[in-house]
């Protein structure tokens, strides 16, 4: 077990908040509540025993420690994302072929549309 490794959810919440400089925008991106993002960031600050943001009335800014962690966290998440993307790209290399059997209803509907168009010309 890694003792000095924060949770991935904490890091994702922190990175999104640091990038947007907004708990609300981070929450929207992550599809969670503002409170959930704030809780994850606070838990990360407690884990690291360091303030990562200066919280003001209507805005936040990264502290020096927050800026340093943001740069490293962004790199780490980019590496993880690139590794995962590689798995998906290897699976999505084929051709998708869709076939539809003609149905009487479909043919009947098209024929009525064509006849109306021809009749009105």
Phi and psi torsions of 61, nearest 5°: -140, 155
Share of the chain above pLDDT 70, in %: 72
Helix 34-48 to helix 8-20 angle, to the nearest 10 degrees? 110
Give per-residue pLDDT as tens, 64-113. 999 999 999 999 999 999 888 877 766 656 666 666 666 655 566 666 66
Domains of the chain and any CATH numbers: 1-90 (1.10.10.10)
Query: For 1-60, what is each residue's pLDDT tens digit?
Result: 678 899 999 999 999 999 999 999 999 999 999 999 999 999 999 999 999 999 998 899
C-alpha distances (whole Å) from 113 to each of 100, 105, 108 are 20, 12, 9
83 phi and psi angles, rounded to 5 deg:
-65, -45
C-alpha 104/C-alpha 96 separation (Å) is 26
Nearest-angstrom CA–CA distance, 17 and 32: 12
């Amino acid at each position: 077990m890694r003792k000095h490794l924060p949770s991935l959810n904490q890091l994702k919440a922190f990175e999104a908040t640091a990038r947007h400089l907004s708990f609300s925008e981070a929450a929207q991106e992550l599809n969670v509540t503002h409170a959930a993002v704030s809780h994850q960031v606070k838990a990360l600050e407690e884990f690291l025993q360091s303030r990562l943001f200066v919280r003001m009335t209507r805005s936040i800014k990264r502290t020096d420690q927050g800026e340093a962690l943001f740069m490293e966290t962004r790199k780490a998440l980019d590496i993880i994302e690139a590794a995962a993307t590689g798995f998906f790209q290897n699976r999505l290399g084929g051709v998708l072929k869709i076939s539809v059997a003609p149905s009487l209803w479909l043919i009947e509907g098209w024929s009525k549309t064509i006849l109306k168009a021809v009749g009105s010309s």
